[in-house]
Amino acid sequence: MLNWNDLRFFLELARQGKLVQAATRLHVDHTTVSRRIDALETQLEVRLFDRSPRGYRLTDAGLRLLPLAEKMESNSIQVYQEIAGKDARPGGTVRVATPEALGSQVIARHIDEFRRDHPGIEIELVAESQRASLSKREADIAIRLSRPATGRLVSWKLCDYRIRLYGSEGYLARHEVVARVSDLGSHEFVSYIDDLIEMPELRYLEATVKKPKVVFRSNNVIAQYNAILKGVGLGMVHCFMAEGAPDLSVVLGEKIAVTRSYWLLVHEDLRSVARVDAVCRFLTRVLRRDENLMMGS
């Protein structure tokens, strides 16, 4: 029979990726974590982690063990709650991968709300444009711009959001008035770096404006946003970002607008894990309750 305590050490190291961090969470010395992992690997006769200077990464065997250990953890919490009648609140780390703008400008601003309800759960927010693999456990939850067609994933639509063309007051004061789409030919733009766009859903400028004169490009949406704020050029901005920038004005608001959707994805093995479910519910609630912010008031 496996020792459940060894699986606790396995779970924490899988979540933290580093011995010292896992040891801190478990209130033990890092050598204890290492020793318990070695014992578990010896008992199972498999290697569960690849070791490197960057930390510990799950092997294929480790990835197979992870959902089983998660279920055991969830069942132990349920036993404590229902049999012992104690308040066993879910705890641990949940890694959430989101598009950069959404993660930094919306979700991060509501983390305090989540912490009040779930003080034992630590959210790791990976806010970037690159896709994190749920099957390889690079993240527990992902928010993406489209629903996956394949994979053992549970998914649902969170909300729609809108992107519009914006310019700063300074830029608009220095350049010709934009009264119609054809006037955009004489204007300068801020956009993505073409060959670094991983998701086709991000190609909205070229789909909206024919042959735009782009003077600044970045794969970082915050860099684009700041350049637009400083008057470098016109650019497509998420309405929820522009909401907090009084110096930005919508350009051709009735004619240029792109609507996209955010989808939540979670691996089916993790869907019923208490801490993951708590984060899923939180994200769904936050992104569905303020349509005016997401779509532009």
Q: Tell whether the model's pLDDT for residue 19 goes beyond 70.
A: yes
Q: Tell whether the model's pLDDT for residue 238 goes beyond 90.
A: yes
Q: What is the mean pLDDT of residues 125-134?
A: 78
In a domain, 217, yes or no: yes
Per-residue three-class SS string for the chain: CCCHHHHHHHHHHHHHCCHHHHHHHHCCCHHHHHHHHHHHHHHHCCCCEEEECCEEEECHHHHHHHHHHHHHHHHHHHHHHHCCCCCCCCCEEEEEEECHHHHHHCHHHHHHHHHHHCCCEEEEEEECCCCCCCCCCCCCEEEECCCCCCCCEEEEEEEEEEEEEEEEHHHHHHCCCCCCHHHHHHCEEEECCHHHCCCHHHCCHHHHCCCCEEEEECCCHHHHHHHHHCCCCEEEEEHHHHCCCCCEEECCCCCCEEEEEEEEEEECCCCCCHHHHHHHHHHHHHHHCCHHHHHCC
* Distance from C-alpha of 127 to C-alpha of 100, rounded to nearest angstrom: 4
In a domain, 38, yes or no: yes
Structural domain including 204 reads 161-259
Relative to beta strand 92-98, strand 141-144 is: parallel
CATH number at residue 189: 3.40.190.10
If pLDDT is split at 50, 70 and 90, which confidence band does 166 have? very high
Which residues, listed in sequence order, are joined to residue 122 by a DSSP beta bridge? 93
Q: Would you state the structure tokens that stand for residue 121, as one six-digit string?
A: 């759960």
In a domain, 190, yes or no: yes
If pLDDT is split at 50, 70 and 90, which confidence band does 89 have? low
**Among 14, 46, 65, residue at a domain's last position:** 65
If pLDDT is split at 50, 70 and 90, which confidence band does 250 have? very high
With the C-alpha atoms ordered 275, 95, 66, 25, is the resulting torsion angle positive or negative? negative
In a domain, 166, yes or no: yes
Please tell me the pTM assigned to this model: 0.71
Task: Find all residues with CB under 8 Å of 158, minimum gap 6, and list them.
Answer: 143, 261, 262, 263, 264, 283, 284, 287, 288
**Among 65, 82, 101, residue at a domain's last position:** 65
Q: Give the angle subtended at the CA of 62 by the CAs of 281 and 156, to the nearest 5°.
A: 25
CATH number at residue 17: 1.10.10.10
In a domain, 44, yes or no: yes
Q: Would you state the structure tokens that stand for residue 167, as one six-digit string?
A: 């310019």
Q: Tell whether the model's pLDDT for residue 200 goes beyond 60.
A: no
Number of domains in the chain: 2
Q: Would you state the structure tokens that stand for residue 40, as one six-digit string?
A: 């578990």
Q: Which percentage of the chain shows pLDDT scores above 90? A: 41
* Distance from C-alpha of 237 to C-alpha of 204, rounded to nearest angstrom: 10
Q: Which of 20-24, 76-80, 92-96 has the lowest mean pLDDT?
A: 76-80
In a domain, 210, yes or no: yes
In a domain, 213, yes or no: yes
In a domain, 55, yes or no: yes
Q: What rounded mean pLDDT belongs to the chain?
A: 85
